[in-house]
Structure 1
């Protein structure tokens, strides 16, 4: 009989939201009050990551065995790891439903497993997660508009929240936490905004899915007190948006996160406390320096050294030749002798030093694992030479114009020899096609688009001349350093980009725990 607060984690991805809740510690007892009972995820690589992290949590206070570190460093197989600890492996497999499962397709099995997991549970229960957001996001909507015959009302992604409602009706949790992109606030079906309907449905989930009975919920914001706390109402739907950079997360990530509280709970939830902004170099600056790869020329350090050395040597003279004398004088000048990096990184880079030296204290404790002697998932991708030259220019430009509100060069500030061959490049529509994650600022939003190219995620150091690695993106998303991402590199980027920052989730967990 468990007195822990059990979690049902839906649309879990690699587990960012669940990680934040399960890692939360009661400040008095130093115990973890939240325990994940079931996690549901349909994408295979994300599920593999999710299951491995579930296995990691089966050991008290994150004291994972030596074999875990052998596995993430590539010394033993996953099968060997799970065979060494069959009890913990079985529990992780049960928690993650033995394999990828999709709400809307595998409901019978998912419902049975949830009911079994909660059968003898006498404590409290919460449901967390957010339906896939492509149909709500501005980018997704723009993409959908280009599809012949597309109608929002026929898009199943618009109504995956109904699956969320069905689970709420099944479980009747004391609390639920639902996350989505802020585009959900403006998304419409048949000309009507969908968000007011979602809010209304969430207040009485059972009724919304056709049940005659069911609990009612009050919907609160995590960041703003309601005008009437007994019947929470808000002046504007934007009151539900959490601006992650205001709460100690090193990126501008704006998400709608709703807190549903069952009507029999009379306590009023608190709000997130604001924190100082965290600049990107404090988060990734201690990680091993890496060079980019060459995607078409046959990759080698010697070849990269020659190409980037030539870019550094000639940039100033090329700018002057094109009449950009003032710009040539402003940007920093480097020579090939300044290029001191050789490695492109690995699945696991062995280290003999701290890589959280510059990280703010609260996050340092969050990232660090004394038993981890590696930097995981820290490997660069390859770029074509033309993009290397653009990356070098952009990161140098961002240093030169560090005091500007936006230190990134707009399309009209690009010299002609660096302009991409886009038909509409000069129109201004591609003015932020290349974006440096500049020093002295928090990062821009880490999105799943980071998997497609690195143009929006250029490292601030011209001498590394590359886009961010999975580990750097994971640091910005506040995943602990011992969190290993499965799948190929593209899949890893997607997992990181789609996740809820675990450190933010940990702060939400504190509010939920105080409430319960």
Structure 2
């Protein structure tokens, strides 16, 4: 039996792609409001999974307009027309609703960058739309993914996670009692070649008051999901077989690197001679193991020496061949000074394809939008390699729940 699922905040489809790889899910619909992400997801579903009606299944719409999302909308100036989620669900059971609201409002980095600590960001409360859709479709299981910073986010003085817990509780869903202990997972433990902590919140519909759903959730995190852990992978495992991209000896304002591999997304952004020089110095330091620039203060001093400017935050980070990457963020769309390639001769930051590799997107997952949009959707995604494991674990949980319910009815 394949579980019928709806994906919310689908992005380019990292979580969805992992679920599809299991071949145990039937996608009813995916909701996403950004057009580059929708185009990328449509291309993937049509070309990889042969979905002839991908255009219909992808709802490019604002999830905050929940009633219209459910019932359909016509001739909207931003989102055109669609018959809505209800028409796709067609009175059949929805087994799983998955997805996670945009994380920028909860992330620690986002709160540091924003002068108001993201307190006024509308994205803080997008989970309310998620809950409204769960209430409407009543899936047996929900999968809610977000950043570790959600645990401490309290834009109006009350912890967001407490609001989320109450919201799900009010509509008859149970989530685990200790989110930090159980739901906070480091995806590096599941074969993703980067340190990436994420909250994986599983919710179960309470169908029987005599069942202890907390025990079931504890068992899921301790015994089901953990079975999918594996040996740690590093940057070398992820990107070392991609062809090198070297700086040109005579760069122009438009072209500074060879960029001739013809591999989708494998081309370097432009870097000026000063940045190339700094990248080479830092990568050589990591490669030699001299660790001269391992501290934030040393990096700030290097920046001052090379630019004559002072900075309160260091701007550089070089990947290490023999370690997992640091977290791939959506901010790579704007930041070309972090995630520096570990080869000192290449003198560049990583490409879209390298970021996708570290995020475990397969090479046949194509990113054909602008570099900025591609970095954004890759950085915001759930790594598909982990998502496949999560999808398989959710199948196990679904089967276990059905067995428990059957035993209760006997």
Which category of TM-score, normalised to the shorter sequence, fits these structures?
0.7 to 0.9
1:494 Cα offset (Å): 0.6
Contact 2:303 2:309 in 1 (8 A): no
1:504 Cα offset (Å): 0.7
Instruction: Assess, with a 3 A threshold, how the Cα gap between structure 1 residues 21 and 189 changes in structure 2: closer, same or farther.
Output: same
Instruction: Assess, with a 3 A threshold, how the Cα gap between structure 1 residues 399 and 200 changes in structure 2: closer, same or farther.
Output: same
Per-residue CA deviations over 1:190-221 (Å, capped at 9, x if unaligned) read 3332212211212233xxxxxxxxxx22214x
1:110 Cα offset (Å): 4.2
CA distance in 1: counterparts of 2:104 and 2:250, whole angstroms: 30
Q: Match for 2:170 among 200, 204, 207?
A: 204
Per-residue CA deviations over 1:347-371 (Å, capped at 9, x if unaligned) read xx2xxxxxxxxxxxxxxxxxxxxxx
Counterpart for residue 155 of structure 1: 121
**What are the equivalent positions in structure 2 for 1:68-217 lying under 5 Å apart?**
88-89=51-52, 91-97=53-59, 100-105=60-65, 107-112=67-72, 113-121=84-92, 125-144=95-114, 146=115, 152=119, 154-205=120-171, 216-217=172-173
**What are the equivalent positions in structure 2 for 1:289-328 lying under 5 Å apart?**
289-292=244-247, 297-298=252-253
RMSD across aligned positions (CA): 2.6
Counterpart for residue 449 of structure 1: 331
TM-score (norm 1): 0.67
Number of aligned residue pairs: 374
1:120 Cα offset (Å): 4.8
CA distance in 1: counterparts of 2:152 and 2:344, whole angstroms: 39
TM-score (norm 2): 0.84
CA distance in 2: counterparts of 1:289 and 1:279, whole angstroms: 18
CA distance in 1: counterparts of 2:101 and 2:329, whole angstroms: 16
1:251 Cα offset (Å): 0.3
Structure of greater Rg: 1
DSSP-derived class of the 1:192 partner: coil
CA distance in 2: counterparts of 1:39 and 1:497, whole angstroms: 19
* Aligned: 1:9 with 2:13: no
* Aligned: 1:272 with 2:226: yes
Contact 1:5 1:125 in 2 (8 A): yes
1:515 Cα offset (Å): 1.4
Counterpart for residue 306 of structure 2: 419
Counterpart for residue 78 of structure 2: none
DSSP-derived class of the 2:41 partner: helix
Counterpart for residue 321 of structure 2: 439
Counterpart for residue 208 of structure 1: none
Q: Match for 1:54 among 45, 51, 61?
A: 45
CA distance in 2: counterparts of 1:420 and 1:104, whole angstroms: 45
Instruction: Assess, with a 3 A threshold, how the Cα gap between structure 1 residues 438 and 184 changes in structure 2: closer, same or farther.
Output: same
Counterpart for residue 282 of structure 1: 237
CA distance in 1: counterparts of 2:128 and 2:234, whole angstroms: 38
Q: Match for 1:477 among 336, 356, 359?
A: 359
Contact 1:389 1:418 in 2 (8 A): no
Contact 2:234 2:324 in 1 (8 A): yes
Instruction: Assess, with a 3 A threshold, how the Cα gap between structure 1 residues 217 and 397 changes in structure 2: closer, same or farther.
Output: same
CA distance in 2: counterparts of 1:409 and 1:383, whole angstroms: 24
Counterpart for residue 343 of structure 1: 258
Instruction: Assess, with a 3 A threshold, how the Cα gap between structure 1 residues 151 and 492 changes in structure 2: closer, same or farther.
Output: closer
Structure 1 spans left out of the alignment, 5+ residues: 25-31, 60-87, 206-215, 221-232, 305-341, 350-374
CA distance in 2: counterparts of 1:157 and 1:296, whole angstroms: 42
